[in-house]
Amino acid sequence: MVVNRPPMHRPTDGRSQQPLLKDDPSPRLDRSSFSHDTEHRPMLHHTRRPTIQSRNSEYDAAQATRKKYIIAAGFLLLSLASFVVQTETAVYIQHELHWDKPYCMLYITHGSWSLLWPFQLLILRIQKRKLSWAAFWRRHVYLVKTTAQMVQSQDVHLTSRDSHRSPVPYMIKTTAFVTTALTVAGGSWYLAVNLTTASDLTAIYNCSAFFAYAFSIPLLKDKLRLDKILSVCVAIIGVLIVAYGDRPSKVAKDGSAKTGVDEEAQNRLLGNIIIGIGSVLYGLYEVLYKRFACPPEGTSAGRGTIFANTFGSMIGCFTLCVLWIPIPILHMLGWETFRVPTGEAAWMLLISVLANATFSGSFLVLISLTSPVLSSVAALLTIFLVAIVDWIRTGQALSFSSIVGGVLIMAAFFLLSWSTYREMQEERRKQLENDQVESESDE
């Protein structure tokens, strides 16, 4: 039997069709009208958050770029001062003290780079002296290891696979071929120094700034920028003016003199070819270091500085362990007899070696924080500084060509610095915007 149950507590006077909030003075928005209005006027919390985040991203990008440039400027000044000391002491050792051992000096100076990491570790330990040694060491090893993994993967954000992969084999191979390119480039300078003139040697070798920019286009995906091309060209013109501005002309007056001039021209041509190859390789070395041994863009300046000095120590250790082999061979062949420096030569060599280690570590940090092109042009400033120091030391006034060339080099450096600063700020801003889009897509 079917029982018809009446509705429970339901009014039968038609009040069920009335709204519950009949006297509410603020009617609800209809969904259709809301969706129509939001196409023309988005909601407030959807408009303010991206604006605030974009402003914070721009501010963070500017601050990070400014901090990186301040640290790079400090290492630039340190590299310039140490290079002047190294150059003056090296010239004094070879010309005044007659300890002329090019490859041995190259081996000792590059081997001194191994001191970069212990010296850096001492400074870091003084800064973090409140930590226990175990905690300090564990933190330092973790920082170096994770930075090496970033270098290997070329990504700031490490995946689980990257974090579990050892970076040691990669860093050993990278150290080997980067050190080889550096040694061949540096050795070409010492080999050509007795074959060509000092002006040719200076002008051709410092054209490595152009080759660094040429190699950075395919290897670093650098863009062709008119201001960069102009800066490099102005810097090279300045070097050419310094090298060839006041060169005296030699005229052969008899047959014997002419023969000597022809022989000198042949040696000079060979020396220019050798130093030209060295210039190309030095530009390649700078770009290879930036491409395969530097942390990717977005890494903090402190982390990049620590890893640059660590990699410099790896280059020094590789030099000490491997590149001693040619020394006994050169001694047995009579091309460069080995002789231990003594007395004043030993002390001056020690100063030159420490200055070279300081310059090299600062230069590696400069490349890591900025770019190989800017670092190469910055190194050209040492030509003008060495000339000024020679003027102070010997009393020989600067020539007009040295002044004009130095001004052009400085102008090129400041132009390139401004261009690089803007480019770094743009890249940092783009990266922060991409990270913001990725984070919003995950919400």
Give one DSSP letter per residue of 98-133, joined into a string.
----HHHHHHHHHHGGGGHHHHHHHHHHHHTTTS-H
Query: What mean pLDDT comes out for the span 354-379?
Result: 86
Q: Which of 54-58, 271-275, 331-335, 337-341 has the lowest mean pLDDT?
A: 54-58
Residue 110 or residue 69, greater confidence = 110
Query: What mean pLDDT comes out for the span 143-152?
Result: 94
Residue 318 CA to its chain's centroid (Å) = 21
Question: Is residue 417 within 8 Å of 374, Cβ to Cβ?
Answer: yes
Sort residue 341 into left (φ over 0), alpha (ψ -120 to 50) or beta: beta
Q: Which domain covers residue 127, as residue numbers?
A: 67-242+271-424
pLDDT for residue 422 is more than 70:
yes
Asked if residue 159 belongs to a domain, the reply is yes
Asked if residue 443 belongs to a domain, the reply is no
Asked if residue 134 belongs to a domain, the reply is yes
What is the residue whose two structure tokens read 């450096």?
A: 413
Distance CA 294, CA 49 (A): 35
Asked if residue 264 belongs to a domain, the reply is no
If we measure between CA atoms, which residue out of 77, 85, 92 comes closest to residue 379?
Answer: 77
If we measure between CA atoms, which residue out of 150, 187, 138 comes closest to residue 311?
Answer: 150
Average pLDDT value over all residues in the chain: 77
Query: What mean pLDDT comes out for the span 302-309?
Result: 92
Asked if residue 59 belongs to a domain, the reply is no
Please tell me whether the overall predicted TM-score, pTM, comes out greater than 0.75 for this model: no
Cα-based distances in Å from 342 to 98, 99, 102, 349: 12, 10, 17, 10
Q: What pLDDT shows up at residue 307?
A: 95
Q: Is 45 buried (19+), middle (13-18) or exposed (0-12) by CB count in 10 A? A: exposed
If we measure between CA atoms, which residue out of 204, 242, 207 comes closest to residue 376?
Answer: 207
C-alpha Rg value of the chain to the nearest Å: 32
What is the residue whose two structure tokens read 């090129």?
A: 412
**Confidence band of 318 (pLDDT split at 50, 70, 90):** very high
Residue 5 or residue 102, greater confidence = 102
Contacts of 107 (CB under 8 A, 6+ apart): 319, 323, 324, 327
Q: Which of 23-37, 199-213, 222-236, 425-439 has the lowest mean pLDDT?
A: 23-37
pLDDT for residue 38 is more than 50:
no
Asked if residue 36 belongs to a domain, the reply is no
Question: Is residue 363 within 8 Å of 109, Cβ to Cβ?
Answer: no
Question: Is residue 110 within 8 Å of 102, Cβ to Cβ?
Answer: no
Asked if residue 39 belongs to a domain, the reply is no
Asked if residue 55 belongs to a domain, the reply is no
Residue 95 or residue 316, greater confidence = 316
Number of domains in the chain: 1
Residue 189 or residue 283, greater confidence = 283
What is the residue whose two structure tokens read 């990270």?
A: 435
Question: Is residue 224 within 8 Å of 384, Cβ to Cβ?
Answer: no
Query: What mean pLDDT comes out for the span 198-203?
Result: 69
| Total number of residues shown for the chain | 443
Cα-based distances in Å from 214 to 25, 221, 372, 377: 73, 11, 11, 14
